[in-house]
């Protein structure tokens, strides 16, 4: 059994993991208010960053900032297994590529954008199970049942989005995408906060013992 690192998560990763959902969820909400006529229920988040959208620059910057947060979180979270950290970091890179290859227009399509988005969606769903730790002394959030649960929940949201996205006549692709995207952007923060709390408790316990 591999020895646990003294530091499960750095403060840098804690801050970046919390910033990621704040930036992602907050920016989409603000962009929706700035974009007259935009329907968040039936239109995708990518349309907010389309080249012809009035919110293109704003959303592009927010995508890039969110991607940077994921990369930083992966770099300063030794409590997560290396494969999971690599997956989270690559998810950040994929998000950056989403920003670099926006939709050409609101109703247009872009293969690089689509591929980058799908890779990011998948990696943000699987990183918990790839980074899980085995052993009763590890925090519950990174042990098998916690890691697998996180991946199953996000994986289900991911597949639900793919199903609805492939049949956009259903009219609620935006709702499903936001549920999945918001959950995936928030899960790293949940994990890092949990690791940080456990780390603080252990530190306090060692000082008082």
Residue extents of the structural domains in the chain: 11-201
Length of the chain measured in residues: 209
Determine contact, residues 59/49, Cβ cutoff 8 Å. Answer: yes
Tens of pLDDT, residue by residue over 83-140, are 999 999 999 999 999 999 999 887 778 899 999 999 999 999 999 999 999 998 899 9
Tens of pLDDT, residue by residue over 142-191, are 999 999 999 999 999 988 988 887 776 778 889 999 999 999 999 999 99
Residue 79 belongs to what H/E stretch? none
**H-helix segments, 138-172:** 144-165
Least Cα distance to 128 among 196, 178, 177, 183 occurs for: 183
Written in H, E and C, the secondary structure of 188-201 is HHHHHHHHHHHHHH
């Amino acid at each position: 059994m591999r020895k646990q690192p003294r530091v499960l998560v750095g403060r840098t990763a804690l801050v970046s993991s919390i910033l990621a959902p704040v930036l992602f969820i907050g920016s989409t909400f603000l962009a929706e208010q700035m974009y007259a006529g935009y329907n968040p229920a039936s239109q995708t988040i990518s349309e907010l960053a389309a080249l012809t959208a009035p919110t293109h620059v704003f959303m592009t910057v927010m995508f890039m900032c969110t991607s940077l947060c994921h990369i930083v979180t992966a770099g300063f979270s030794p409590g997560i297994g290396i494969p999971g950290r690599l997956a989270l970091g690559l998810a950040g890179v994929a998000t950056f590529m989403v920003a670099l290859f926006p939709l050409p227009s609101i109703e247009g399509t872009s293969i690089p954008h689509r591929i980058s988005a799908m890779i990011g969606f998948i990696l943000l769903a699987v990183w918990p199970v790839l980074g899980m730790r085995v052993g009763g002394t590890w925090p519950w959030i990174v042990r098998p049942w916690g890691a697998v649960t996180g991946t199953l929940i996000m994986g289900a949201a991911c597949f639900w989005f793919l199903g609805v996205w492939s049949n956009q006549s259903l009219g609620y692709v935006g709702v499903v995408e936001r549920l999945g995207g918001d959950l995936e952007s928030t899960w790293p923060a949940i994990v890092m906060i949990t690791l940080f709390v456990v780390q603080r408790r252990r530190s306090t316990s060692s000082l008082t013992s």
